[in-house]
Chain A
Amino acid sequence: MAAARADTLQSVELADGVEIQLRVAGVAVRSMAYLIDLLIRIAIYIGASILMFWLLADVLGPQVTLGLFLLFIFFMEWFYNVIFEAGAKGATPGQRVFKLRVMSMTGGPVTLAQAVMRNFLRVVDFMPFFYLTGIVCMLFTRRFQRLGDLVANTVVTYVELPHTVVAQVPIQAERLAPSQVLTREEQAALLQFIERAPLWADERRLELASLAQPLTKAPGPEGLRRLCGMALWLQEPEEKRATPPPLKGAAYSRS
């Protein structure tokens, strides 16, 4: 699909041979999700220490309380993300705020094993500070994967693809067959152009249409009109009323 190059959509092939598209989340939004999780964890730590050392310590004694607190820290440090990501929503609370989800690269939900892998490797992604390794790694991979994602075969995606706004505006153009054969990518680009064109200002439409001047062979409004015409033609190549022209040469060559 041509769309994959212009945005962060990534094609994934399901087991059934169907290609679906995921919108992969970038560094910024993931960092914000991480910060929210961090704040939540800090709040939990504060709450737990108040609960344990003020209330439990009197009942259980200071040493048992300290032990329990260490165990609690251990599980929070290593399993906070694992439990949420392997859960039904596939996302930590911070990720849910930004409508993100951890997915297996196969398109399915993350298994417990994958969640363990990607989160245990955080230690290395964090090095030398503030996830520098992870961020560099994300910038150099097509699907914004940090080391943990690479080993666990996971990606962080948006839960939903962005909705395309469809403008219901009739297009003032005559259908026009393109003057040359268009590749699939070019056809897709034209079709997307006509879907989105009504949403843009006139200047923007003209600017984009002028990029297709080699195809339309006309500048300015005329080029835009021709481009829209070709897109309409692609949408409905044969006009229902039109009768096909008689094939004159065919009879000769057949006999």
Chain B
Amino acid sequence: MTPAQFEKQIEPRWQKLEKLLAEAEQNHPTAAVDELPATFRQVCHDLSVAQHRMSPQRLTQKLNALALRTYRVLERHSAGGWEAFVRLFFVEFPQAVRAEWRLFWWCTALFYLPAVLIAAITPAHPEWAMALLGPEGMVQIESMYGESSKPSDFVRESYGSGFAAFCFYIWNNVSINFKTFAGGILGGVGSLFVLMFNSLFLGAVFGYVHYSGNPMTLYAWVVAHGAPEITGMIIAAMAGMRVGWSVLRPGRMERREALVLAGRKALPLLIGAAILTSLAAVLEGFWSPLNLPLSIKFASGGMCWVLLTVFLLFSGRRSGNAA
């Protein structure tokens, strides 16, 4: 068969495919669209034959473009809407945390140990915490949690300021989560840096308030939203470390493949961390500034920690593996 004959022979097939595609690309597909996959495979076959026979480029390119266009139509997927989103948070996210439990504990330890350490030595050696906070930080902390402060000092007068605070926390804290994750691709160094920096800074704040302020004010303020906020940060760092680890130790895979796989595994962690941090923003914007008795503050704050622990430990256990 000459190339010209071949071209003539396959022409009706790709013309049919073109017609079907034009229908499928509109939003009201007709019954003829059922024929699309079969016609697509025929044209794919024609393409590989044309490639093998080294047919004129004009022909292979035409078939190539057509195959690609059809493939995009066939592979078009809907994002799955709310149901998929709910499943992502309540099933895949806790599953992903449990699947990487070692990494979780490493990141948790890397956050809490330096924080507790610096908070513990501050009463004896306040210069460490002071160096970390700087003069402006110290002034700010004095004004917020100083000796004369009361746990009710944070009460905001209006709903508007609560909303503004909530938006600020979303913008600031969730952005930090995303950046923490992104920094992970540098062999985990970026995530580790943000995690340790936050750890030391928070430890210094706690230590310094114990040293020169009224710790009750601080604890009543942070006890509730601290649970999702700190855990969210740890999990965002964990997602970054997951990607970074695949760069350092791809194992038996090619580094490129390991990276793609790690990215897939990190995604539920990242989204989950962002949602936890957003919840923290809601609490910090609207709940934490409420003027309530200390007992209620601490009881509800404790509840937040328990709920979060139960959620991470047990949610999605019965739904099988997400993988």
Contact = CB atoms under 8 A, between A and B. Distances in A.
A74 B264 contact: no
A196 to B, nearest CB: 9
Given A16-B41, A116-B267, A124-B190, A147 B54 contact: no
Interface in A104-129: 106-109, 111-113, 116-117, 120-124
B270 A70 contact: no
Contacts of B267: 113, 116-117
B185 A20 contact: no
B44 A151 contact: no
Chain A binding surface, main DSSP class: helix
A246 interface: no
A253 interface: no
Contacts of A234: 54
B152 interface: no
Interface stretch (B7-15, B70-78, B95-103, B105-113): B70-78
Contacts of A123: 178-179, 182-183
Given A71-B167, A108-B75, A18 B175 contact: no
Contacts of A70: 164, 167-168, 170-171
A92 to B, nearest CB: 17
Contacts of B168: 67, 70
A161 interface: yes
A207 interface: no
Interface residues of A, number: 58
Nearest to A109: B72
Interface string B245-258: 00000000000100
Interface residues of B, number: 55
Contacts of A235: 3
Given A14-B44, A18-B48, A64-B160, A71 B171 contact: yes
A18 B44 contact: yes
A61 B160 CA distance: 8
A106 B72 CA distance: 10
A22 interface: yes
Interface string B238-274: 0000010000000000001001101110010011000
A128 to B, nearest CB: 12
Chain B binding surface, main DSSP class: helix
Given A64-B160, A70-B168, A163-B61, A20 B260 contact: no
A175 B260 CA distance: 51
A217 to B, nearest CB: 24
Contacts of A187: 54
A169 to B, nearest CB: 14
Interface string A1-41: 10100000000001011111110000000000000000000
Interface of A: 1, 3, 14, 16-22, 60-61, 63-64, 66-68, 70-71, 73-74, 77-78, 86, 90, 106-109, 111-113, 116-117, 120-124, 147, 150-153, 160-161, 163-164, 166, 184, 187-188, 191-192, 195, 234-236
Contact of A66 (B45, B57, B71, B164): B164
20 contacts: A14-B71, A18-B45, A20-B64, A60-B160, A66-B167, A70-B170, A73-B171, A109-B72, A109-B75, A109-B76, A109-B77, A111-B79, A113-B264, A116-B267, A121-B185, A151-B243, A153-B260, A164-B58, A195-B56, A236-B2
Contacts of B41: 16
Contacts of B3: 235-236
B41 to A, nearest CB: 6
B54 A191 contact: yes
A74 B54 contact: no
B186 interface: yes
B128 interface: no
